């Protein structure tokens, strides 16, 4: 739990994939998330959180995860983007690109 808090409070853009092993749409998203992690070459850190893991229950409750898959982009503890359900690879890349533009403006 503390590790997850440390992860989302860093300066890096961080994508957290909330999933469940029994969830069909989550299983469909795994290859998309894995490809995103590999092909974005560190532009965003990617973590998967199993909502059925008791060690992450408080974290899952804090962000009111009511359906899976739920994807959330964080930076410095702030939720920058959130979506539930299946999302395509190119759509996910588009979200990252928009967030990078926004973050550049804020840093200027």
Question: Which residues does the annotation mark as catalytic?
Answer: 23, 26
Element (H, E) at 75: strand 70-75
Q: Is residue 32 over pLDDT 70?
A: yes
Q: What residues does 73 pair with on adjacent strands?
A: 15, 81
Give me the domains of the chain, ranges plus CATH numbers: 2-107 (3.40.30.10)
Average per-residue pLDDT for the chain: 91
Residue 108 has pLDDT above 80, yes or no: no
What is the model's pTM?
Answer: 0.90
106 falls in which pLDDT band (50, 70, 90)?
A: very low
Cβ–Cβ under 8 Å, residues 18 and 84: no
Average pLDDT over residues 32-50: 94
* pLDDT, tens only, 45-74: 999 999 999 999 999 999 999 999 999 999
Average the pLDDT over 93-103 and give the result: 92
Point out the least confidently predicted range of 10-24, 28-42, 68-82, 90-104: 90-104
């Amino acid at each position: 739990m503390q590790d997850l808090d440390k992860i989302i409070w860093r300066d890096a853009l961080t994508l957290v994939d909330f999933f469940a092993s029994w969830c069909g749409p989550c299983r469909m998203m795994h290859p998309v998330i894995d490809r995103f992690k590999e092909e974005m070459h560190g532009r965003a850190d990617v973590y998967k959180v199993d909502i059925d893991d008791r060690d992450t229950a408080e974290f899952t409750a804090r962000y009111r995860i009511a359906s899976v898959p739920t994807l959330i982009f964080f930076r410095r503890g702030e939720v920058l983007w959130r979506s539930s359900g299946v999302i395509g690879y190119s759509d996910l890349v588009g979200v990252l690109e928009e967030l990078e533009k926004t973050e550049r403006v804020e840093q200027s």
